Amino acid sequence: METAVVLVWLSIVVVILSRSHADRNVYPSAGVLFVHVLEREHFKGEFPPYPKAGDSSNDPITFNTNLMGYPDRPGWLRYIQRTSHSDGVLYGSPTAEHVGKATVIEITAYNRRTFETARHNLVINIMSTEEFPLPYQAEFFIKNLNVEEMLASEVLGDFLGAVKNVWQPERLNAINITSALDRGGRVPLPINNLKEGVYVMVGADVQFSSCLREVESPHNQLRCSQEMEPVISCDKKFRAQFSIDWCKINLVDVTKVVTIRSNRPDPGPGVLPDMGEYNPPSEALKSRDYFADFLITLAVPMAVAMVLFTILGYSMCCRREGVDKRNMQTPDVQLMHHSSIQKSTKELRSMSKNREISWPLSTLPVFSQSGEVVPPLHPDNYETTSMPLMQTQTNLQNQIQIPQQQLSGDRDNYCMSTFRRLEVNGILEDGKVSEALNL
């Protein structure tokens, strides 16, 4: 039991000692690209072993970097990590303003599987250099690489070697690397392994070579304006590994730029003067009471709404005449007419509900005396609502004539009337026949 307790305490002490390590110091030069890789392997030992089974070497780890005492990094320093299973990279180009100032970067590693954290401090001591700034700078846009791929030491070394063969300088340095997304570029579609692109600025101590000057020729400028690829003689030295957009190359002569800036005229009256640092208001200012504004904002609309609601309620409820008063003011003829219409409407509706049960007497068929069953005039699929109430004799089939007494004249004179024998709802209506003969 004591041995187990000792082992637990020893593991806790080891974890505490591993987290309380010394700060790491780096010494970049002003005007030269600074790259620092945050390796996941270096931070894995900072986390305690996971109690459950699993491969701890594949733990997803992400990093958060910020200037000590501030929520973000310095303006010249950028950070990128594509996935939680890849290394993070800090990169940027410090300027002469930061020379001699120690910049402490807090690096916090998050283990996304165990939810453990570990913190390191990176102290950046920026050194001055005699080569800064290099007078001639060229910025290339490489289309087939991402920024983290370009920051790899071997890839960046191959690119600088290709530029040195084309330029032939005595001193050549990578000044800065910027992702195309930071320049307003768009995220490429996830097809055909497309890349977002990266801008690489290099500096040298000699004039631009004739190959780089070919971009400024009128012929190539015309091709670029027509969105055509310019003709560059040294493009084949880059094409094997780097796809360069020669229309976006930028050649800068720092000496001429500085001379132009030094001869800039004084600003006119339309330019605001430099007001110095921002001074926030004093804490002695009295706070404003917004209670009255709150009451006015709510009370006025509510009062108007209540007045409108009262007027509407009085008009709808208190000004109603009622049915009795309306009937008293209505003429009796109009009321009788309205009542008869209502009764007729109800009778028609009740008849329409019983249409399939029994037909009106005027529509009942009459059977012949021969006893022959004749097929019904209306099949099941026939729409009975469209039939006339009385059938004409010209439309009847299988007719027989029976004697019928005339309305006027001698009783011995008869006229023949036509009847049919049909089934109504599947039942022979003999009673209806006798009733029709007695008419």
**Which residues lie below 8 Å from residue 126, measured CB to CB, with a gap of 6+?**
27, 28, 29, 30, 94, 98, 99, 100, 101, 103
Mind listing the pLDDT tens digit for each residue in 249-290?
999 888 776 444 445 566 666 666 666 777 777 777 777 888
Mind listing the pLDDT tens digit for each residue in 15-54?
333 344 457 889 888 888 999 999 888 887 777 766 666 5
Task: Retrieve residue 187's tokens.
Answer: 């995220």
pLDDT of residue 385: 47
* Integer Cα distance of 94 and 64 in angstroms: 20
Q: What are phi and psi of 224, to 5 degrees?
A: -70, -35
Among 380, 381, 418, 428, CA closest to 397: 418
pLDDT at residue 148 greater than cutoff 50? yes
pLDDT of residue 201: 92
Please tell me whether residue 26 adopts helix, strand or coil conformation: strand
Mind listing the pLDDT tens digit for each residue in 325-356?
777 878 888 888 888 999 999 988 888 877 65
Instruction: Concatenate the DSSP letters of all residues of 241-297 into one string.
Output: T--B-GGG-EEEEHHHHHHHHHTPPPP-TTSPPP--S--PPPTTSPPPP-HHHHHHH
Do residues 76 and 98 make contact, with C-beta atoms less than 8 angstroms apart? yes
Distance linking the first and last C-alpha atoms of the chain: 122
**Which residues lie below 8 Å from residue 368, measured CB to CB, with a gap of 6+?**
374, 398, 400, 419, 420, 421
Q: How far is CA 350 from the centre of its chain?
A: 59
Q: How far is CA 167 from the centre of its chain?
A: 47
**Which residues lie below 8 Å from residue 93, measured CB to CB, with a gap of 6+?**
31, 32, 33, 34, 76, 175, 176
Percent over 90 (pLDDT), the chain:
18
Q: What are phi and psi of 388, to 5 degrees?
A: -70, 155
* Integer Cα distance of 354 and 225 in angstroms: 86
Mind listing the pLDDT tens digit for each residue in 53-62?
655 567 888 9
Do residues 120 and 107 make contact, with C-beta atoms less than 8 angstroms apart? yes
Count CB-CB contacts under 10 A for residue 24: 14
79-94 per-residue burial string, b: 16 or more CB within 10 A, e: under 16: bebeebeebbbbbbbb
Q: What are phi and psi of 312, to 5 degrees?
A: -65, -40
Average pLDDT over residues 151-174: 89
pLDDT band at 7 (very low <50, low <70, confident <90, very high): very low
pLDDT of residue 297: 92
Per the prediction, the chain carries an average pLDDT of 75
pLDDT at residue 439 greater than cutoff 70? no
pLDDT of residue 66: 93
Q: What is the largest CA-CA distance in the chain?
A: 148
CA distances from 202 to 90, 94, 133, 169, 239 (A): 19, 14, 11, 11, 18
pLDDT of residue 104: 92
Structural domains of the chain ordered from first start: 18-125 (2.60.40.10), 136-260 (no CATH), 362-378+392-437 (no CATH)
For the chain, the helix, strand and coil percentages under 3-state DSSP, each to the nearest 5: 35, 20, 45
